[in-house]
């Protein structure tokens, strides 16, 4: 796909003029110099949300504008309207689309100065695009899902060199020459059908002399009792990112893995991603061991799809490389209401040899093999962003590691919460910078989108004036 044509001086001047007029109008409204109608006042009220500042990550950067790159990236589980259920968000005052829409569009507009925006649970991408006129997107969905993954990118900076959608249920965990070699089911080593996918995009800089960045986003399986499956999905995605870099000649580019990983820093999946070569605490070993189960749904994964094909990225405005899914317009659900009992392991059995479920030590080794030189660097967990404030809003400070037995752990500086509802208050969303390939210099995280103070989040999200999703956006700036 060729880069977009350069804007003419007249187009640039007109865009600057429109932007200046818009800013002047906003300033006049803020200063009370413009008389607003009741409807305009109501719309301003509807668009209110909790704004947060960017903070230094505590790292220095010698990046210059001429020789190297710098990019600001946001990831946010936006909460698909098709998944909204009142019983999951008791007391929320903005569950209807008419109440959420203005807030979501306003917050996305607030993030429009970011170069890359990754969204999960996105089911109204055309509406969201109206808040990001300088961006276009690549999208992908799991089979039959009415929501999915979207990566917006600024068209003045990037064009898509290549993209790929990974169907996690269908990918193999074990290679053909491993001791688990056999039929597709055994090599997949999956514990259940999840319909989860990962989206990988190589974004080349328009004026970057071949430079760019690889961005991958995902939404890992949600159920707390399926730690084994989340580790499996993470390994498959990391392998896919590395193979994607090799296949598309971008091993020298930084690679960032973003999304809702449905794992907390105190859990095995996170620790294996950021610190794979440190011994796992026994509680995390037990967590994986107890989730080495096989759910009845694995029989729904077609054997004919065990060697998934790779499709060329679209050159259309959507950049979609996944089968088209009918847009959700009527607010009806799609049968994805989570099990009311999150501790349930119903309809499961102990794995047999033909299932290919790896032992804990083999699973850990597989992660170490894909991250041989160390773990991923977390935008929040691996920097010193909280030193100036004592890290009051950090995961460790709120007691997130209390149930973990003795042992070295990473992630003490992750945000205290990224999912904050009346029922669930968890840290689930991350921006992870993968170790460099080909001995290239590691990119640096230079700033982060500061987490809110816990008292600012009220009784739980979604909440008018705070956030229209149950998840909070996280973000960072990286330089290389």
Mean pLDDT of 244-267: 97
**Half-sphere exposure of residue 233, counting CA atoms within 13 Å on the CB side?**
33
Does residue 10 form part of some domain? no
Does residue 31 form part of some domain? no
Contact in structure between 446 and 420 (CB atoms under 8 Å): no
Does residue 7 form part of some domain? no
CA distance 386 to 393: 8
CA distance 412 to 394: 7
Does residue 127 form part of some domain? yes
Does residue 203 form part of some domain? yes
Structure tokens given for 237: 């995605």
**Is a pLDDT exceeding 90 seen at residue 220?**
yes
Q: Which residues pair with 122 in a beta bridge?
A: 148
pLDDT band at 270; cut points 50, 70, 90: very high
**Is a pLDDT exceeding 80 seen at residue 373?**
yes
Does residue 395 form part of some domain? yes
Mean pLDDT of 371-397: 82
Minimum mean pLDDT range among 147-156, 171-180, 220-229: 171-180
pLDDT band at 416; cut points 50, 70, 90: very high
**Half-sphere exposure of residue 467, counting CA atoms within 13 Å on the CB side?**
26
CA distance 32 to 37: 13
pLDDT confidence of residue 39: 81
Minimum mean pLDDT range among 50-54, 86-90, 178-182: 178-182
CA distance 247 to 230: 25
**Is a pLDDT exceeding 50 seen at residue 65?**
no
Q: Which residues pair with 394 in a beta bridge?
A: 415
Does residue 470 form part of some domain? yes
User: Bigger pLDDT: 39 or 81?
Assistant: 81
Q: What is the CATH number of the domain that holds 135?
A: 3.60.10.10
Structure tokens given for 392: 């009051």
CA distance 415 to 389: 13
pLDDT confidence of residue 380: 95
Q: Which of 161, 152, 107 is nearest to 134 (CA)?
A: 152
- Pairing type for strands 474-479 and 70-77 reads antiparallel
In the chain, how many domains are there? 1
Question: What is the percent of the chain where pLDDT is above 90?
Answer: 71
Mean pLDDT of 2-27: 67
CA distance 164 to 258: 15
Chain mean pLDDT for the chain: 86
**Is a pLDDT exceeding 50 seen at residue 291?**
yes
171-193 pLDDT tens trace: 999 987 766 667 889 999 999 99
User: Bigger pLDDT: 406 or 423?
Assistant: 423
CA distance 281 to 445: 28
pLDDT band at 33; cut points 50, 70, 90: low
pLDDT confidence of residue 341: 58
CA distance 386 to 140: 35
CA distance 215 to 372: 20
Q: pTM for this one?
A: 0.87
CA distance 458 to 265: 24
**SS3 label, residue 231:** helix
Mean pLDDT of 289-318: 65
Contact in structure between 190 and 255 (CB atoms under 8 Å): no
Q: Which of 447, 456, 399, 400 is nearest to 428 (CA)?
A: 400
**Is a pLDDT exceeding 60 seen at residue 319?**
no
**SS3 label, residue 239:** helix
- Pairing type for strands 70-77 and 116-122 reads parallel
| Best-predicted range by mean pLDDT (18-27, 303-312, 402-411) | 402-411
Contact in structure between 59 and 446 (CB atoms under 8 Å): yes
pLDDT confidence of residue 16: 75
pLDDT confidence of residue 2: 44
**Local structure of residue 471 (DSSP, 8 states):** B
CA dihedral (370, 373, 374, 380) positive or negative: negative
Query: Which spans in 300-349 are helix H?
Result: none
Range of the domain at 190: 45-323+347-479
Does residue 397 form part of some domain? yes
Mean pLDDT of 349-369: 97
- Pairing type for strands 135-140 and 148-154 reads antiparallel
Question: What is the percent of the chain where pLDDT is above 70?
Answer: 83
């Amino acid at each position: 796909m060729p880069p977009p044509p350069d804007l003419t001086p007249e187009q640039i001047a007109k865009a600057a003029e429109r932007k200046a007029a818009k800013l002047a109008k906003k300033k006049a409204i803020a200063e009370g110099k413009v008389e607003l109608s009741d409807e305009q006042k109501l719309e301003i009220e509807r668009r209110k949300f909790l704004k947060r500042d960017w903070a230094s990550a505590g790292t220095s950067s010698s990046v210059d504008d001429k020789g190297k790159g710098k990019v600001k990236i946001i990831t946010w589980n936006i909460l698909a309207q098709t998944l909204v259920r009142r019983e999951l968000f008791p007391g929320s005052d903005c569950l209807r689309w008419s109440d959420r829409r203005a807030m979501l569009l306003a917050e996305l507009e607030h993030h429009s100065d970011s170069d890359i925006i990754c969204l999960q649970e996105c089911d109204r991408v055309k509406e969201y695009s109206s808040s990001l006129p300088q961006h276009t997107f690549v999208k992908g969905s799991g089979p039959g899902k009415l929501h999915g993954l979207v990566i917006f990118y600024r068209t003045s900076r990037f064009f898509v060199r290549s993209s790929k959608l990974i169907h996690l249920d269908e990918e193999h965990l074990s290679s053909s020459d491993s001791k688990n070699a056999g039929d597709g089911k055994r090599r997949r080593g999956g514990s259940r059908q999840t319909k989860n996918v990962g989206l990988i995009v190589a974004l080349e800089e328009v004026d970057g002399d071949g430079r760019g960045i690889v961005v991958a986003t995902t939404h890992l399986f949600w159920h707390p009792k399926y730690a084994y499956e989340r580790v499996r999905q993470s390994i498959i995605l990391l392998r896919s990112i590395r193979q994607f870099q090799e296949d598309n000649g971008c091993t020298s580019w930084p690679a960032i893995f973003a999304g809702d990983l449905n794992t907390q820093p105190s859990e095995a999946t996170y620790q294996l991603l950021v610190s794979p070569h440190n011994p796992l605490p026994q509680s995390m070993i037990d967590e994986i061991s107890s989730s080495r189960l096989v759910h009845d749904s694995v029989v729904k994964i077609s054997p004919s799809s065990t060697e998934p094909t790779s499709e060329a990225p679209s050159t259309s405005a959507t950049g979609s490389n996944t089968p088209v899914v009918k847009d959700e317009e009527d607010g009806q659900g799609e049968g994805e209401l989570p099990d009311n009992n999150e501790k349930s392991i119903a309809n499961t059995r102990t794995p047999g040899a033909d299932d290919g479920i790896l032992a804990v030590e083999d699973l850990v080794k597989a992660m170490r093999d894909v991250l041989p030189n160390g773990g991923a660097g977390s935008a929040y967990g691996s920097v010193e962003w909280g030193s100036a404030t004592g890290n009051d809003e950090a995961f460790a400070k709120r007691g997130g590691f209390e149930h973990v037995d003795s042992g070295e752990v990473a992630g003490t500086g992750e945000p205290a919460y990224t999912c904050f509802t009346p029922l669930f208050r968890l840290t689930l969303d991350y921006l992870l910078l993968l170790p460099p390939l080909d001995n290239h210099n590691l990119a640096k995280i230079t700033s982060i989108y500061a987490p809110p103070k816990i008292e600012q989040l009220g009784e739980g999200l979604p909440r008018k004036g705070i956030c229209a999703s149950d998840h909070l956006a996280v973000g960072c700036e990286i330089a290389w």
